[in-house]
Amino acid sequence: MATKVLVVDDSSFFRRRVSEIVNQDPDLEVVGVAFNGQEAVDMAAQLKPQVITMDIEMPVMDGITAVRKIMAANPTPILMFSSLTHDGAQATLDALDAGALDFLPKRFEDIASNKDDAIKLLQQRVKALGRRRLFKPVARTTPSSLGTSTTSSSASRLTNSNLSGANSTLKSSITPKLSTANSTTNQGNTASVASIRASGKKYKALLIGTSTGGPVALQKILTAFPANYPHPILLIQHMPAAFTPAFASRLNSLCKINVKEAQTGDMLKPGCAYLAPGGMQLMVEKSASLGRLKVIAGNADMNYKPSVDITFASASKAFGSGVMAVVLTGMGADGREGARMLKTAGATIWAQDEASCVVYGMPQAVASAGISSHSIALENMAEAIIKETARG
């Protein structure tokens, strides 16, 4: 049975173009189109779509407000379309804060250089979100961090807005409530996080790779880290170049640790997280201290920029067994081969569990290959990482 899709945009041309692309796939079906956010809220209740594609700037009600209202009343996986600008980046992060699960550039040439590849990617993203089952969340105990309606211009001022609102919605709406502190070994046996014994290894760096659902997941984990976290952290999030500065700034404003966009020449420091720049590849080189970063363009034919595989592979050479690597929610298998190299070098590899992932692709790739030793729920990941890597 085809996944039902609601297309929301104030541009008749864009509504028609997205609808045509969605309907080209036999597994997808557009069941309605909306001109503004209020129509989207009403049609989400009436049509019960399984996925919604949403513009940000619209008359009557903007997309961010619509996302928040839909997630409160009729939780539905939402894919945002955004411009690759500073304001577009801020607004997209605010939409994720409100509960959207994924985003794509609004200009198709920004999705992929090849038109057919762009069409295929859009269809894949919609189908991936359509596989998520959402449930109406329990009444929230804290108010939304976003407050009243925002347009993209006003959203750009919300640099300190907190993605935990989205995380709270996701935990209660994407999956049934998880049991306390569950983790899974790659053999399928379950155990509590409390039962995971710290290995006692002395680590040199923590690496985290992610894609779809990553912004919320990264914030959930990093905001739990203490200011004196004893290791440098490398973050590889699939994200456009225009978005990573805004995302790094937002994380830095919310976390006790320092967070910055990585630059060539950065010397790794404990308690600092370095976000791989969008459109580039992040490498780590061994140095007399903790290591030095190098940002390069990489091969033009690389599927992911940044690529988790590239950074993981460089860390295997620089740090060997002194790496703790975690693969979080995301589509595809980026990170699997890099994690394999890390494991061969003696590093520790963990993955996010299926139940708490927005898309169980990247974590599944490392888990099913027997590379990761544990699969851990997002809500327990920070505690487990801190427990394992506490030794400086």
Catalytic positions are 211, 238, 334
CB atoms within 10 A of CB 51: 25
Q: Is 227 in contact with 254 (CB distance < 8 Å)?
A: no
β-pair partners for 235: 208, 275
Q: Is 145 exposed, middle or buried (0-12, 13-18, 19+ CB in 10 A)?
A: middle
Mind giving me the DSSP string for 325-372? EEE-SBSS-TTHHHHHHHHHTT-EEEEE-TTT-SSBSHHHHHHHTT--
- State how far the Cα of 147 lies from the Cα of 151, in Å rounded to an integer: 12
E strands of 249-338, at which residues?
Answer: 258-261, 272-275, 281-285, 292-296, 323-327
Best CA proximity match to 366, nearest among 282, 309, 296, 303: 309
What distance in Å separates the CA atoms of residue 362 and residue 329, rounded to the nearest whole number? Answer: 6
Please, how many CA atoms are within 13 Å of residue 178, restricted to the half-sphere of its CB?
A: 24
Our CA angle for 159, 58, 154, nearest 5°, is 25
Strands 323-327, 102-105: pairing kind = unpaired
| H/E run at residue 291 | none
Considering Cα of 314, then 316, then 320, then 322, what sign does the dihedral take?
A: positive
Residue 378 exposed, middle or buried by CB count within 10 Å (0-12, 13-18, 19+): buried
C-alpha 266: how far from chain center: 24
Q: Is the dihedral of CA 363, 364, 368, 374 positive or negative?
A: positive
